[in-house]
Amino acid sequence: MQRKLMVVGNWKMNKVYVEGLILANTVMAGLEKFRRPIQIVLCPPFIHLQTVASMYKEHPQLAVGAQNCYQAPQGAYTGEVSAAMLRSVGVEYVIIGHSERREQFNEKHPILAEKLKSAIAAGLQPIFCCGEWLAVREAEDQEAFVQQQLEESLFGLSEEEFSKVIIAYEPVWAIGTGLSASPEQAQAMHRFIRNLIAEKYGDNSAQNTTILYGGSCNAENAAALFAQADIDGALVGGASLKAEDFLQIVEQRAAIFQY
Ligand code: PGA
């Protein structure tokens, strides 16, 4: 898979049906002015997926992602949704390993490794999140921490499987806090991640992997982040809930066109 310029909106658990429709529609309408090949992915709650996927079907720049999937393909798992089910309604991406799921739903490395494999087997592209806690950053252990996250779930994939993966570096201390990582901090970690990929899967894979930054990304700080050589785009939470804010971030990504 080739490296892409990408902006992903993670709505988390927000927007009832009609609100979601309006937001997805406004984002689509606002895209008419972007001619550059930017991939925009909206990740709404499950109830919106089928509708938004069908709205976006004809638009090559737009795609839909889920925020989670279950690791087993089917069966007696009350309340869960499989990767194949997501794919069957037109979903193309799935976020895996978001820090909120790691923390609040106790998702550990082995489960995330299974989720990655099942998502890819079903034809979804995983957006794999990694990133350190504040205490880890304060102890300056962030690189070892992220390396372990990658090694224990992501690097179990074959080279072919890995080629489907998008990585999102999201320092936990920056998520929803208004305190984004500085462009230099983010770039340093993105470069570190790319180097780890090069060691594991080779230079070609490293150069072709899309690595997004996430954590309080907004219209004010996006341009400086996107100007960094190893930051291909953003995974946006809070600012994806308003079409205008989200589109401004897309516009910043389009303005700095690297490849
Ligand atoms: P935020 O969330 O942009 O609200 O910080 C990002 C995320 O959790 O993906």
- Per-residue pLDDT tens, the chain, 259 aa: give them: 789 999 999 999 999 999 999 999 999 999 877 767 899 999 999 999 999 999 999 898 999 999 999 999 999 999 999 999 999 999 999 999 999 999 999 999 999 999 999 999 999 999 999 999 999 999 999 999 999 999 999 999 999 999 999 999 999 999 999 999 999 999 999 999 999 999 999 999 999 999 999 999 999 999 999 999 999 999 999 999 999 999 999 999 988 765 5
Q: How does 173-195 read in b/e, with b if 16+ C-beta sit within 10 Å?
A: bbbeeeebbebebbbbbbebbbe
pLDDT at 109: 97
d(CA 53, CA 33): 21
pLDDT at 255: 87
Q: Residue 71: what residue type? A: Q
Among 42, 166, 170, 220, which is best to mutate for testing ligand 1, by the most ligand atoms less than 8 A from CB?
A: 170
Q: Which DSSP letter does residue 248 get? A: H
Question: What is the gyration radius of the CA atoms in the chain, in angstroms?
Answer: 17
168 lines ligand 1 (CB under 6 A): no
Distance from residue 253's CA to the centre of ligand 1 (Å): 17
Among 169, 217, 218, 220, which is best to mutate for testing ligand 1, by the most ligand atoms less than 8 A from CB?
A: 217
Distance from residue 200's CA to the centre of ligand 1 (Å): 28
pLDDT at 37: 80
Burial zone of 35 (CB within 10 Å; 0-12 exposed, 13-18 middle, 19+ buried) = exposed
How many other C-beta atoms lie within 10 A of the C-beta of residue 15?
Answer: 18
d(CA 101, CA 127): 13
pLDDT at 35: 65
Q: How far is CA 166 from CA 22, 41, 145, 206, 225, in A?
A: 27, 12, 19, 11, 17
Helix or strand or coil: residue 63?
strand
Distance from residue 76's CA to the centre of ligand 1 (Å): 32
Per DSSP, the residues of 114-178 read HHHHHHHHTTPEEEEEE---HHHHHTT-HHHHHHHHHHHHGGGS-HHHHTT-EEEE--GGGTTTS
Tokens of 63: 């795609």
d(CA 229, CA 3): 12
Q: Could you give the residue numbers annotated as active site?
A: 98, 170
Q: Which protein residue has the closest C-alpha to ligand 1 atom 9?
A: 237
Pairing state of beta strands 233-236 and 5-10? Answer: parallel
pLDDT at 32: 75
Q: What is the distance between the terminal CA atoms of the chain, rounded to a whole angstrom?
A: 14
pTM over 0.95, yes/no: yes
